[in-house]
Chains A and B, each alone.
Chain A
Amino acid sequence: MNDPMIKAEELTRKFGDFTAVDHISFEVGAGEIFGFLGANGAGKTTAMRMLTGLLVPTEGEATVAGYDVYKQPEQIKKRIGYMSQKFSLYEDLTVRENIRLYGGIYDLGDQQIKQKSDELVNMLGMNELQNKMIGSLPLGWKQKLAFSVALLHEPDIVFLDEPTGGVDPITRRQFWEQIYKVAEEGTTVFVTTHYMDEAEYCDRVSIMVDGNIDALDTPAGLKEEFEADDIEEVFIRLARGAERGE
């Protein structure tokens, strides 16, 4: 892989005696859709926090978009987008206000923010909704908008933490088409999910168990290796051996 977007080597994080992430090594290539799976408590969130520059590792090395997680967390934050189901947009701001807020946070100029807002509202077909409060929009709309806002500053990588939880099956699939589209355009996508069918949409998938990456391959490769019909079967076989909970 030339110039991987994410490169982790023996990346480790301990909390007291507890090793949340235990010497994980992996690479994610540019434009790749990388599925980051694991049971509750396997260490996914801790790993993601290190890769997004929010948490300093205890040991090991990692670079994200070419920047070092120890020395350059602020540069990392500028080059990544982040979206989760739990936190994304401000409910009591309108669609346009949310876009403006994030544009400001990411240091875009006024002119650029205006242009981006128009583009985004058009692309999502939200012209009639642009002055509505986010809180009044259906969940599916919020999620599509949150995803677009996470991409507002044209990041190299976007981290999606369970982006589709609770969404209806059609909207969930529309969301994945958005993901395909940005990956096709070259953005790297790092995504966690509890929907095992979504793991099949990824180029490669890793499965964390008890702080380690126990499997990492293409969905087809994993199924072959574990002689399983689907990723759910692979996941259950690996995660059933887990020792620890959340």
Chain B
Amino acid sequence: MQEFKQHTGIAVPLNAANVDTDQIIPKQFLKAVSKIGFGKHAFNDWRYLDEEGTRENPDFVLNFPRYKGASILLARENFGNGSSREHAPWALADYGFRAIIAPSFADIFYNNSLNNGLLLVKLTEDEVDQIFKVVEANEGQTVTVDLENLEVRVNDLRFKFELDEFRRYCIMNGLDNIGLTLQHEDAIIAYESKKYKWL
């Protein structure tokens, strides 16, 4: 997992609520058996006019020239709802996003993203709205997400966010969750020895 301490990049504003994982990565791309290469299909049905993905939809915000190379996604409430497909964060990370800022995220998507070092930043609706306005008004506007100080900075704006200490530690150091759990194998064995056999 890639380490994340602080990141500054162009932010792209995706002005839609309830963006589901079917939109982030449609089912026809779930047939792969590896984790790589999903980025070119991120938001496929919104991003391309044809099934083959050869003609870009000029009306879709990710295709606006000013947002090319964006690495921070600004979104509205309940981002990532629906299917548990981890292909969604794989696609977003592979596209080049390092962080997503929104008022709320769906539960399964939240875990999936953090497990891949894709940082999800929850701010209030009002704060997200302020960032939308600044980003839409200024071409090339960058946003900084600072995990060390749990802070988002856009020009003079500074917004604090929260993340539990353990997850913050894992993401900042790019740690493998399984390896950490296996350090507690004695506790797993102890639990297994006392549980009902049939359970």
Query: Do A and B interact with each other, yes or no?
Result: no
Q: Which residues of B contact A (CB under 8 A)?
A: none
